[in-house]
Structure 1
Amino acid sequence: MSAPARIHPVILCGGSGTRLWPVSRKARPKPFLPLVGSRTLFEAAQDRVGDCESFAAPIIVAGAQHCELIEAQARGQHRLVIEPAAKNTAPAIALAAALLPAEAVMLVCPSDHHIADETAFVAAALAAASLAREDWLVSFGIAPDHPETGYGYLRRGEPLPGGYRIARFVEKPDLATAQSYLATGEYSWNGGIFAFRAGHFLDELARHRPDMARLVGEAVAGGREEGTRFHPAAEPFAAIEGDSVDYAVMENTDRAAMVPADMGWSDIGNWAALADALAAEPGLADPDRNVARGPADLDSCRGVLALSDGPRVSVVGLEDICVVVCEGEVLVTTRAGAQRVGKLPGAVNQEPAR
């Protein structure tokens, strides 16, 4: 019996990472920063699918504003699909699917996530690909380690080879509900990593979002090649009503499955999430889970993240706060307030403070 065909990674580079302001900026957003370790998140995403026996060269889907950053940090052969407009994840994935053979299994990966256990990631990817070849639309179900209110959840259904049918998609819950999910052991976080057979994904998109599927098809048919870059036709793509892959397809299909993945995953969605990811790295945190990068003095503190590109940060007697100094901007937030950083005028407008 021949080995299964290689999996085709699709790396999505979108978003501006405003909740990680002032380090993440429009000109150099979150995926292109070395937030955990020496590699950028985008470089790490490529390295995770770098095994040539299991994975083909990736397709990278991104906006034009990030092309130079992508090509500067590209790890090898790739194909870059340049979205004419930002239309959320369903059209972005559909562009890649339309450029692949119908039987190809695609592994959709955000460019800005952190995964500590890359061996577990590859094992989950192989399990997901096996289900995708049987025309399941597969999501990675991240093993939850605390009652998180910032993620959507997947409820486990009947067992499948290497995974489970998804019994229910759940929106971001309140704390009491998240605690109940954790207690049952039946729920996983929806990590935004997927595996599909390209042709089956397009069929399901046409079934549930026919206008989107038609317009993506027109954009690809009218597109043009430019070396390793592919430019979809702008006019039909601009007419698409954007939507996430979860809303457009996953929550509508009757073939939704999940593979469990316990791999030290974080979406690094805010400063509190980055603090947790750094604290989990060997040797970075002190016994009180304080993490410092750059000059910092932390006295009688617990759970403090202090990052500085120059000026000394001194913190005394505080718990669960994040202090970030970068390029003349200073941010101080509690862990609880970290989700709101992206709404600050400095993050929205990207202008120097007055």
Structure 2
Amino acid sequence: MLLPVIMAGGSGSRLWPLSRQLNPKQFLALADNLTMLQATIARLEGVIHSVPCLICNEQHRFLAAEQLRQMGLEAAEILLEPEGRNTAPAIALAALNATANGDDPILLTLAADHLIRNVPAFHRAIQVALPLAEAGKLVTFGIVPTHPETGYGYIQRGTSLDQHSFTVARFVEKPNVETANGYVDSGEYFWNSGMFMFRASRYLDELRHFQPDILEACREALLKSEHDIHFIRVDSDAFVACPENSIDYAVMEKTESAAMVTLDAGWSDIGSWSALRDVSGKDANGNVLKGDVLYESTQNSLVYAENRLVATVGVDDLVIVETKDAVLVAHKNKVQDVKKIVEQIKVQGRNEHFNHREVYRPWGVYDCIDNGERYQVKRITVRPGAKLSVQMHHHRAEHWIVVSGTAKVTNGEKTYLMTENQSTFIPIGQVHALENPGKIPLELIEVQSGSYLGEDDIVRFEDRYGRT
């Protein structure tokens, strides 16, 4: 059995302002109509038939579950990390979970935020790696470099195992330009993709040998886990106590069983706006244009308009990204420093790094249209059949106006239906709930007023999504 394990952690801060802490790049549709997570799953079609196991942060659980639901993968298990501890513990959780019932599958561990253009070549690499993993090797996939990249780690090949696989001589850190040039010219070095294949028990054996503290912390976290709808919530205290380490440092650099399969398949981790520009279709002037964009005398630029018309005149080599609450303008050779802007946002106590105006919830989405000192206006969309939690607020009242669809409202002791152009008022302290009993999305405007309007002023009494 070949089980795909997809790691969907990370914040993608270098793709700000599109990527945010609550909606990072792996959940965004950057290169095509599928999100990066969905594209990662879709490219397994035809070579792997098992339902994938997903590992993601607790904060992203409903976003991940909804994207799996859209692909008909409600049966997929989602392991929730209360806090990121890097790849070695994440894969340990997946391996322990996969072997809990006596099975011992081959794991194909993939990052959810990679792009692979040549899917048949990717499938061929999986087929090359499979017998190596079955023979006890811990296989990594080395990307054939196309240029001297300083943003990736490298793998030096060792002795040949066959035409497309080698032993691993060593892993090396991200090099400077001169060293990267030497690596590429030698033909012996490959980009470290962060993708692996091995039998679950082999990884656990090597982890036990080289990093037993990680294995024991993950074993305890999984033993004390709670199952909630589609989610496996590992024990927070045990997992947070786990040492933070990558699979490269913890196992792959130390094991004598490492093997590398070469992969030449149009791979990119889309780690920056310039990387996205490189893999996107360009016009005759070398521009990548997405959204409502007009330009004059503009060359070699990426312009991404999410919400409004963006017009450029006489610019070259720029990255311009517009969202509902932020605009980024950067030289294409400086986009690696976007994360420094994110750090400034954090230091200033702002929230533009944390979420968008649009926030996804298990029942739908809301858009914060306007806000002031004692008020906030949201546009709320509730999916058919979905229901918000039964809740109350200590510090705010709410006015609801239905724009379209049908709302089933619980307001204290009363329950009633509202349709288009009807409204209701929820006083401070009133227990209430909102449900969409219809067949079409429910759209409404919510006006909040009060002394405190934070999302943490919610006391939940009942919730079908396990948030009480």
Length-normalised TM-score, structure 1: 0.91
User: Hey, what does 1:160 align to over in structure 2?
Assistant: 161
Structure 2 residue 108 is the aligned partner of structure 1 residue 110: no
Residue pairs, 1:132-143, within 5 angstroms: 132-143=133-144
Alpha carbon RMSD of aligned pairs, Å? 1.8
Give how far 1:265 is off: 0.8
Change beyond 3 A, Cα 1:234–1:179: same
The answer for unaligned runs of 5 or more in structure 2 is: 354-468
CA distance in 2, matches of 1:89, 1:174: 24
Q: Is the Cα contact below 8 Å between 1:20 and 1:269 reproduced in 2?
A: yes
From 23, 34, 37, the equivalent of 1:39 is 34
Structure 2 residue 62 is the aligned partner of structure 1 residue 60: no
User: Hey, what does 1:306 align to over in structure 2?
Assistant: 303
Tell which has more relative contact order, 1 or 2 (C-alpha 8 A, sep 6+).
1
User: Hey, what does 1:281 align to over in structure 2?
Assistant: none
- Greater fraction helix: 1
User: Hey, what does 1:90 align to over in structure 2?
Assistant: 88
Which of structure 1's runs of 4+ aligned residues deviate more than 6 A?
Answer: none
Could you list the per-position Cα deviations for residues 37-92 of structure 1 after superposition, in whole angstroms to 9, with x for gaps in the alignment? 111001101112233x6331111011111110111100213111111321111100
Q: Is the Cα contact below 8 Å between 1:19 and 1:340 reproduced in 2?
A: yes
Give how far 1:254 is off: 1.2
Q: Is the Cα contact below 8 Å between 1:21 and 1:342 reproduced in 2?
A: yes
Give how far 1:196 is off: 1.2
CA distance in 1, matches of 2:350, 2:147: 33
CA distance in 2, matches of 1:299, 1:158: 54
Give how far 1:25 is off: 1.4
CA distance in 1, matches of 2:200, 2:21: 32
Could you list the per-position Cα deviations for residues 273-302 of structure 1 after superposition, in whole angstroms to 9, with x for gaps in the alignment? 111111xxxxx3113321111232344443
Structure 2 residue 120 is the aligned partner of structure 1 residue 122: no
Equivalent position amino acid for 1:107 in 2: L
Equivalent position amino acid for 2:195 in 1: I
Change beyond 3 A, Cα 1:298–1:186: farther
Change beyond 3 A, Cα 1:241–1:262: same
Could you list the per-position Cα deviations for residues 237-269 of structure 1 after superposition, in whole angstroms to 9, with x for gaps in the alignment? 121111111111111111111111111111110
Equivalent position amino acid for 2:81 in 1: E
Q: Is the Cα contact below 8 Å between 2:65 and 2:230 reproduced in 1?
A: no
The secondary structure found in structure 2 opposite 1:99 is: helix
Q: Is the Cα contact below 8 Å between 2:206 and 2:255 reproduced in 1?
A: yes
Structure 2 residue 24 is the aligned partner of structure 1 residue 29: yes
CA distance in 1, matches of 2:331, 2:193: 24
Give how far 1:352 is off: 4.8
Change beyond 3 A, Cα 1:153–1:350: farther
The secondary structure found in structure 2 opposite 1:243 is: coil
User: Hey, what does 2:220 align to over in structure 1?
Assistant: 218
From 197, 200, 207, the equivalent of 1:198 is 200
Equivalent position amino acid for 1:31 in 2: Q
From 317, 324, 332, the equivalent of 2:321 is 324
Q: Is the Cα contact below 8 Å between 1:18 and 1:347 reproduced in 2?
A: no
Give how far 1:330 is off: 1.2
Structure 2 residue 296 is the aligned partner of structure 1 residue 295: no
The secondary structure found in structure 2 opposite 1:15 is: coil
Identity %: 39
Give how far 1:320 is off: 2.5
Higher mean C-alpha deviation, range 191-200 or range 307-316: 307-316
